[in-house]
Structure 1
Amino acid sequence: MSKQDSDIEPYSAAAAPSPDTTHNPRLKIWNLWVILLANGAFALLTNLLFFFDGIPLFKNSTSRWALIFLGLLIYSLQAGLIFVLVRKFALNHWLQRPFHAVQWLWALAVGLTLWLLTNAFLFFKLPEATLRLNSGQSFWRFFTTFLLNSIPGALIEEFLFRYLPVRYAHMMQLSRTKTLLLFMAVVVFFTITHIPAYLWQYKYTLWSLWNPFTMGIAFFFVYYATRNLAFTTLFHAFHNNSWYLFGHAEHKDYSFIILVSIFWFLLRTRTQATLWQDDESHESPNPKASV
């Protein structure tokens, strides 16, 4: 073998650049916004359906399962829309990366631990008169709705409004200023998409939009810190529909989640010099898991 031949290293997958760490000129900012705007229009359309009599079976139904079925149908249609749009305007592997089983196992383990800690906190905080275990029937009603409606809805929103912007900013190596501007624009748009439900369907006041705005920032923080879509989805879903062993479900103190997210962030970035030197092997507390 000649010296010239010996200097040529064989191709290996490990040596190949990651598609998310190489600037891709095919992707533009409008690609991201086409996906977001199309889904915003879809959300507007589905909320407008409740103003017409075209679906009286669901609109006036007192059956919980009929409403759950309607939610599943809408989320399935939107998932199909997202699949088509991401394949056309983004990168195919973005549809697979955040759904690795290891990420969901980590999210479930951490989420269940936080739920148990919160219940222990409530046990010592609540008055003794309210320390009666909630019924198994109430848990079953919560769990079926949580599993079939709360999680699918939260997963779609977190994929669109947290995962895609963070992935785009990371891949395009945006400056911190441009990244913050992008994230704030997405939070504002996330808030706008809640106008049909908050103001028209539920008849809330304009001030009520402060809730999706602030929670949008909170969800962004949790996802950016953990880079775990499953954990952020569970947080989002539980914010919308919660259940505890004791008392009512209005407990909205998320201090444990914020602290865990900060700790998760420190673990994830412990070998990084800057936030934008993320290596895929450090985007989960498990070094072998990637986001």
Structure 2
Amino acid sequence: MAFSKGLVFAMVIAIFAIVKPSEGALNAHYYDRSCPAAEKIILETVRNATLYDPKVPARLLRMFFHDCFIRGCDASILLDSTRSNQAEKDGPPNISVRSFYVIEDAKRKLEKACPRTVSCADVIAIAARDVVTLSGGPYWSVLKGRKDGTVSRANETRNLPPPTFNVSQLIQSFAARGLSVKDMVTLSGGHTIGFSHCSSFESRLQNFSKFQDIDPSMNYAFAQTLKKKCPRSSNRGKNAGTVLDSTASVFDNVYYKLILSGKGVFGSDQALLGDSRTKWIVETYAQDQKAFFREFAASMVKLGNVGVKETGQVRIYTRFAN
């Protein structure tokens, strides 16, 4: 998935480093005794960062998705590249994630309050919940107890579902991680906050196919608006792109309403309306924000349990292994 930049099946499943759901059980009260102030410290750090930079919520939510999708929720996305290895954060799909400093700041404070206790992976999971809540979305109890990974490879970012995927490809990608069709449509709703660069959707605006210049599933007037934002001559700047929905700083159900009107920014977003397996879910969430919020919280808990490690190290620093 993609949030800030324009949030891979039977035939191509072999190229996946498939991450299985965790068989272990995490605990919502994991730090109650060992670090009771953990969630407060993370919330305050995230809130302050968001006030300073409005791009933080989308970036941290995207960070959580990408971390869990690649090697499981193990904070491998935070590890730095070395001379001998290019890490996940430097893989093409993660170039726009950024805001790593927020997790680093929270972790530094946690190490002072309760050394070697709270994992980087749990910090990311809690921060993802907090940015959703701070943006007007639902709250849920984050299950905790993850341990941190020590391996991070940029070439594994190719396993992230790109914004060009069709519904069947999306379903298979999510299923490989133990997530259902409903989870996939629900978690796609995270696109309600954030920004996309032109490169993630420009293929829908010109030379779409041999017979059509513009993706026919896209509202024509909307396509013309996006063309103006992404002129061929100057669409590579960091600010060239568009918000993912018309209330991009608010977590709401507008994303689904826009899909119904042909204004999904990514091809993978708009595709959800054209398939009977997903269309009814889009329609339900467009009509019922409470249902979307309820299911989003549940799906985030499921995503947070993908491939987690309950044995291993708690990294002292976010950027490299102990």
TM-score, reference length from structure 1: 0.29
Q: Which has the larger radius of gyration?
A: 1
Higher relative contact order (CA 8 A, sep 6+): 2
TM-score, reference length from structure 2: 0.27
